[in-house]
Amino acid sequence: MADRKANAEWHGGLKDGKGKLALGSGLFEGAYSFATRFEDEPGTNPEELLGASLASCYAMALNATLEGGGTPAKSVAIEANVHLGKDDSGFVVKGIDLDAKAEVDGLDDAAFQEIAEKVKTTCPISKALGATKITLNAKLA
């Protein structure tokens, strides 16, 4: 299996500093800062990237599971909402909400819900986020 890389830099203080991150593939490079993470300044942040990782992993795993069960999806769309907050130790990802919509012929809602919940705990990124509460709202389109 392949190893994947990413890198990040940070220059300056917490509130006035600037950072840059890049995917090892070279397909994405972006700026981040205190304001892009904790305020509404344009740019990226670690939580957004975490959400993208989980959403894309979940979409592929859900599709693969449906296909393996003989009911391939026509489409799968996932949105991840990552909740950053604080606790006694400082900033923490308090949870991630996944909204999943899939168009699947020949599968009833009860069977879809069972598959969707199973995939939530078995996709590799979900496993890596084992300490994070992940909720799922899954719907057949």
pLDDT digits (tens, 9 = 90+) for 29-46: 999 999 999 998 999 999
- Read off the pTM: 0.93
Task: Give the CA dihedral 12, 14, 17, 23, nearest 10 degrees.
Answer: 100
Q: What is the DSSP letter of 6?
A: E
pLDDT band at 1 (very low <50, low <70, confident <90, very high): confident
Share of the chain above pLDDT 70, in %: 100
| Tokens standing for residue 114 | 């069972």
- Burial (CB < 10 A; 0-12, 13-18, 19+), residue 48, is middle
